[in-house]
Amino acid sequence: MDQYALYYDLLYANRDVRREADFIESIIRKFSHVKVKKILDVGCGTGMHSIELGKRGYNVIGIDISEEMVKKAREKARGMENVSFLVGDAANTVFKDKFDAAIAMYGVASYFIEDEALMKFLNSIRQNIVEGGLFIFDTWNIFGVNDKRVYYEMPSPEFRKSGNMLAIKESTWTIDLMNQLADVDISWSIVDLSRGGVDVFSHRIRLRLFTPREIKHIMRDCGFSLCEIYPDYNLVPFSEDSPEMVIVARAD
């Protein structure tokens, strides 16, 4: 198993999945035109949100391109009849039955660098949800990411802790404003506090950066109406310098 999949839950231990699920339910109540029973979790990773939403009574299918992630998700969801996972590319998957809502958490949409790939992904999501259903996802706001106070002058490494395991993250962002891209070099040190061992690995990711106006037009072109943009998983107003954008779009 690759290290990213192996330590995935630890690497995201700083995220409050319950609060994020609360946000999703609040958004569904506020904006959905259909009763939501069935949710598609795109790029589900090890199933954190799928499982939490399943505990709340939703029928959830999670899809991820990583076999190792899906294997871990299935192990974690063992015994949950209303939650299932499959290995696949959401941009190329059409389900027999449509969903009432879809989510794509933790920057999934930002990995689609080329316009053609992004449009294919969004059109696939639209094809898989019912009219009036919601698509909730997050991505990066170019105006906020370009704020050097946020990304170029990190005062210290970031830490995540779960049980006896500690993850130390150091990252460097290189911003290409002309092409609206960010190359992010990430180094992880995984410390076993009980045994004292350290596992070190690094990786580079390339992310697409968006403007709010761009998001509105892209969603319209793919059959969605933009309902709202939030700065994070709280119901607070969005501001131009917010690094993240949480997008709420409704299928037309």
Average pLDDT estimate for 202-220: 96
Are the C-beta atoms of 169 and 158 separated by less than 8 Å? yes
Minimal CA–CA distance to 139: which of 119, 176, 111? 111
- 187, 247: one domain: no
- 66, 100: one domain: yes
- 113, 192: one domain: no
**If you search the block for the tokens 């090890």, which residue do you land on?**
46
- 97, 221: one domain: yes
- 188, 89: one domain: no
Q: What is the pLDDT of residues 65-96, one digit of tens each?
A: 999 999 999 999 999 999 999 999 999 999 99
Domain count across the chain: 2
Tokens of 44: 């589900």
Q: What is the pLDDT of residues 21-30, one digit of tens each?
A: 999 999 999 9
- 227, 241: one domain: yes
| Confidence at 156, pLDDT banded by 50, 70, 90 | low
Lowest mean pLDDT across 17-26, 147-156, 174-183: 147-156
Its domain, for residue 63, covers 3-141+210-251
Compute the distance between CA of residue 167 and CA of residue 50 in angstroms, rounded to an integer.
23
Tokens of 170: 């150091």
- 113, 67: one domain: yes
- 31, 128: one domain: yes
> What pTM, to 2 d.p., does this model score?
0.94
CATH number of domain containing 194: 2.20.25.110
- 15, 112: one domain: yes
Tokens of 114: 């080329």
- 35, 125: one domain: yes
